[in-house]
A and B are shown apart, each in its own frame.
Chain A
Amino acid sequence: MMRWLLLLLAVLALVQPASAQDRMPPAPYAYTQLQDPALEAQARELMHTLRCLKCQSQSIADSDAPMAGDMRHQVRARIAAGQSPDEVRAWLISRYGDYVSYDPQVSATTWPLFVLPIVLLLLAGTILLRRLGKRAADDAA
Chain B
Amino acid sequence: MIAEIGLAALWLAAALAVLQLLAGFLGVRDENSALVALVRPAAVLQAGLCAVSFGALVYAFAVTDLSVKLVATHSHSMKPMAFKLSGAWANHEGSMLLWITVMALAGGLIALIEHRLPKRMMMATLGAQACVAVGFYLFILLSSNPFERLSPVPADGNGLNPLLQDMGVSFHPPTLYIGYVGLSVAFSFAVGALLTRNVTPEFARAMRPWVLASWIFLTIGIAAGSYWAYYELGWGGWWFWDPVENASLMPWLAATALLHSASVLAARDALRTWTIMLGVIAFSMSMLGTFLVRSGILTSVHAFAVDPERGSFILVLLALYIGGALVLFALRANTIAEGERFALLSREGALVVNNVALSAILAIVLLGTLYPLLTEAFDVRVSVGPPYFNPVSAIFFLPMLAILAVGPMLRWRRDSFERIRLPVIIIAVVTLAMFALVLVLSDIGLLPLLGLATAAGVAIASFMPLRGRNLLRTPLPVWGMCVAHFGVAVALFGVAADTAFQQERLVAASPGDVIEVGPWEATMMSVSPVAGPNWTAMQGDLLVSYDGGPMREAHPQARSFWAPQGETSEVALLTRWNGQLYVALGNMAEDGRWQLRLWWKPFVTYIWYGGLLIAFGGMLALLGRVIGDVRRRSAEVRDEERRIEEAELAAS
The residues of A with any CB-CB pair to B shorter than 8 Å are: 25-26, 31-33, 44, 48-49, 51, 56-59, 61-64, 97-104, 109-110, 112-113, 116-117, 120-121, 124, 127-128, 131-133, 135-136, 138-139
Which of A57, A64, A124, A138 is close to B569, meaning CB atoms less than 8 Å apart? A64
**10 cross-chain CB contacts under 8 A:** A26-B589, A31-B589, A32-B508, A33-B504, A64-B567, A64-B586, A109-B375, A117-B395, A124-B356, A127-B356
Q: Which of B243, B383, B386, B396 has the most CB of A within 10 A?
A: B383
Which of B363, B368, B504 is close to A44, meaning CB atoms less than 8 Å apart? B504
Q: Please tell me if the beta carbons of A57 and B240 are within 8 angstroms of each other in the complex.
A: yes
Q: When A31-B506, A62-B233, A63-B235 are in contact, do A51 and B385 touch as well, CB less than 8 Å?
A: yes
Which of A32, A56, A63, A112 is close to B371, meaning CB atoms less than 8 Å apart? A112
Closest 8 A/B residue pairs (Cβ): A102-B385, A103-B387, A57-B242, A99-B381, A62-B235, A132-B344, A31-B595, A62-B237
Q: Whole-angstrom distance between the alpha carbons of A98 and B587 in the complex?
A: 31
Q: Please tell me if the beta carbons of A98 and B382 are within 8 angstroms of each other in the complex.
A: yes
Q: Whole-angstrom distance between the alpha carbons of A115 and B299 in the complex?
A: 27
Q: Mark B328-345, 1 if CB is under 8 A from A, else 0.
A: 000000000000011110
Shortest distance between the CB of B631 and any CB in chain A (Å): 34
Q: When A117-B364, A138-B341 are in contact, do A128 and B356 touch as well, CB less than 8 Å?
A: yes
Asked whether B562 is an interface residue with its Cβ less than 8 Å from the other chain, the reply is no
Shortest distance between the CB of A47 and any CB in chain B (Å): 11
Asked whether B315 is an interface residue with its Cβ less than 8 Å from the other chain, the reply is no
Q: Please tell me if the beta carbons of B380 and A109 are within 8 angstroms of each other in the complex.
A: yes
Which of A25, A112, A113, A127 is close to B590, meaning CB atoms less than 8 Å apart? A25
Beyond A26-B589, A62-B240, A138-B341, 5 additional contacts (C-beta under 8 Å) are A33-B506, A113-B367, A128-B356, A135-B342, A136-B344
Q: Which residue of A lies closest to B236 (CB)?
A: A62
Q: Which residue of A lies closest to B366 (CB)?
A: A116
Q: Which residue of B lies closest to A32 (CB)?
A: B506
Q: Whole-angstrom distance between the alpha carbons of A49 and B387 in the complex?
A: 7
Asked whether B171 is an interface residue with its Cβ less than 8 Å from the other chain, the reply is no
Q: Please tell me if the beta carbons of A59 and B360 are within 8 angstroms of each other in the complex.
A: no
Q: Which residue of A lies closest to B413 (CB)?
A: A139
Shortest distance between the CB of A86 and any CB in chain B (Å): 12
Q: Please tell me if the beta carbons of B353 and A113 are within 8 angstroms of each other in the complex.
A: no
**Which residues of the other chain, A, contact B567 by a CB distance below 8 angstroms?**
64
Which of B243, B371, B586, B589 is close to A25, meaning CB atoms less than 8 Å apart? B589
Q: Mark B498-511, 1 if CB is under 8 A from A, else 0.
A: 00000011111000
Q: Please tell me if the beta carbons of A49 and B371 are within 8 angstroms of each other in the complex.
A: no
Q: Please tell me if the beta carbons of B363 and A120 are within 8 angstroms of each other in the complex.
A: yes
Q: Whole-angstrom distance between the alpha carbons of A138 and B342 in the complex?
A: 10
Which of A103, A109, A112 is close to B385, meaning CB atoms less than 8 Å apart? A103
Asked whether B384 is an interface residue with its Cβ less than 8 Å from the other chain, the reply is yes
Q: Mark B361-393, 1 if CB is under 8 A from A, else 0.
A: 001100110010001000011111111100010
Q: Mark B292-329, 1 if CB is under 8 A from A, else 0.
A: 00000011000000000000000000000000000000
Q: Please tell me if the beta carbons of B506 and A136 are within 8 angstroms of each other in the complex.
A: no
Which of A51, A112, A117 is close to B392, meaning CB atoms less than 8 Å apart? A117
Q: Please tell me if the beta carbons of B380 and A59 are within 8 angstroms of each other in the complex.
A: no
Q: Which of B568-613 contact A (CB under 8 A)?
A: 569, 586-587, 589-590, 595, 597
Asked whether B357 is an interface residue with its Cβ less than 8 Å from the other chain, the reply is yes
Q: When A109-B375, A113-B384 are in contact, do A120 and B360 touch as well, CB less than 8 Å?
A: yes
Q: Please tell me if the beta carbons of B382 and A99 are within 8 angstroms of each other in the complex.
A: yes
**Which residues of the other chain, B, contact A136 by a CB distance below 8 angstroms?**
343-344
Q: Please tell me if the beta carbons of B356 and A56 are within 8 angstroms of each other in the complex.
A: no
Shortest distance between the CB of A32 and any CB in chain B (Å): 6
Q: Which of B228-249 contact A (CB under 8 A)?
A: 233-235, 237, 240, 242-244
Q: Which residue of A lies closest to B270 (CB)?
A: A135
**Which residues of the other chain, B, contact A117 by a CB distance below 8 angstroms?**
360, 364, 367, 392, 395
Q: Whole-angstrom distance between the alpha carbons of A92 and B508 in the complex?
A: 27
Q: When A62-B237, A101-B383 are in contact, do A135 and B367 touch as well, CB less than 8 Å?
A: no
Which of B237, B299, B344 is close to A56, meaning CB atoms less than 8 Å apart? B299
**Which residues of the other chain, B, contact A113 by a CB distance below 8 angstroms?**
367-368, 371, 384, 388
Asked whether B414 is an interface residue with its Cβ less than 8 Å from the other chain, the reply is yes
Asked whether B182 is an interface residue with its Cβ less than 8 Å from the other chain, the reply is no
Q: Please tell me if the beta carbons of A31 and B586 are within 8 angstroms of each other in the complex.
A: yes
Q: Please tell me if the beta carbons of B343 and A103 are within 8 angstroms of each other in the complex.
A: no
Q: Whole-angstrom distance between the alpha carbons of A132 and B342 in the complex?
A: 8
**Which residues of the other chain, A, contact B353 by a CB distance below 8 angstroms?**
128
**Which residues of the other chain, A, contact B408 by a CB distance below 8 angstroms?**
none
Q: Whole-angstrom distance between the alpha carbons of A113 and B237 in the complex?
A: 25
Which of B234, B344, B414, B507 is close to A32, meaning CB atoms less than 8 Å apart? B507
Q: Please tell me if the beta carbons of B384 and A59 are within 8 angstroms of each other in the complex.
A: no
Asked whether B349 is an interface residue with its Cβ less than 8 Å from the other chain, the reply is yes
Shortest distance between the CB of A69 and any CB in chain B (Å): 10
Q: Please tell me if the beta carbons of A135 and B341 are within 8 angstroms of each other in the complex.
A: yes
Asked whether B352 is an interface residue with its Cβ less than 8 Å from the other chain, the reply is yes
Q: Please tell me if the beta carbons of A56 and B298 are within 8 angstroms of each other in the complex.
A: yes
**Which residues of the other chain, B, contact A121 by a CB distance below 8 angstroms?**
360, 395-396
Q: Which of A31, A58, A97 has the most CB of B within 10 A?
A: A31
Which of B237, B357, B367, B388 is close to A102, meaning CB atoms less than 8 Å apart? B388
Which of B240, B343, B352, B367 is close to A58, meaning CB atoms less than 8 Å apart? B240
Q: Whole-angstrom distance between the alpha carbons of A113 and B371 in the complex?
A: 8
**Which residues of the other chain, B, contact A128 by a CB distance below 8 angstroms?**
352-353, 356
Q: When A135-B341, A136-B343 are in contact, do A64 and B360 touch as well, CB less than 8 Å?
A: no
Shortest distance between the CB of B365 and any CB in chain A (Å): 11
Q: Whole-angstrom distance between the alpha carbons of A49 and B359 in the complex?
A: 26
**Which residues of the other chain, B, contact A131 by a CB distance below 8 angstroms?**
352
Q: Please tell me if the beta carbons of B386 and A49 are within 8 angstroms of each other in the complex.
A: yes
**Which residues of the other chain, A, contact B357 by a CB distance below 8 angstroms?**
124
Q: Which residue of B lies closest to A120 (CB)?
A: B360
Q: Whole-angstrom distance between the alpha carbons of A113 and B242 in the complex?
A: 17
Q: Please tell me if the beta carbons of B383 and A100 are within 8 angstroms of each other in the complex.
A: yes
Q: Please tell me if the beta carbons of A98 and B388 are within 8 angstroms of each other in the complex.
A: no
Shortest distance between the CB of A48 and any CB in chain B (Å): 7
Shortest distance between the CB of A133 and any CB in chain B (Å): 7
Which of A49, A57, A135 is close to B343, meaning CB atoms less than 8 Å apart? A135
Q: Which residue of B lies closest to A109 (CB)?
A: B380
Q: Which of A61, A117, A128 has the most CB of B within 10 A?
A: A117
Q: Which residue of B lies closest to A107 (CB)?
A: B382
Q: Please tell me if the beta carbons of B388 and A104 are within 8 angstroms of each other in the complex.
A: yes
Q: Whole-angstrom distance between the alpha carbons of A120 and B396 in the complex?
A: 10
Q: Whole-angstrom distance between the alpha carbons of A135 and B380 in the complex?
A: 47
Q: Whole-angstrom distance between the alpha carbons of A25 and B587 in the complex?
A: 10
Q: Whole-angstrom distance between the alpha carbons of A133 and B341 in the complex?
A: 12
**Which residues of the other chain, A, contact B384 by a CB distance below 8 angstroms?**
102, 104, 113
**Which residues of the other chain, A, contact B360 by a CB distance below 8 angstroms?**
117, 120-121, 124
Shortest distance between the CB of B100 and any CB in chain A (Å): 27
Q: Please tell me if the beta carbons of B505 and A99 are within 8 angstroms of each other in the complex.
A: no
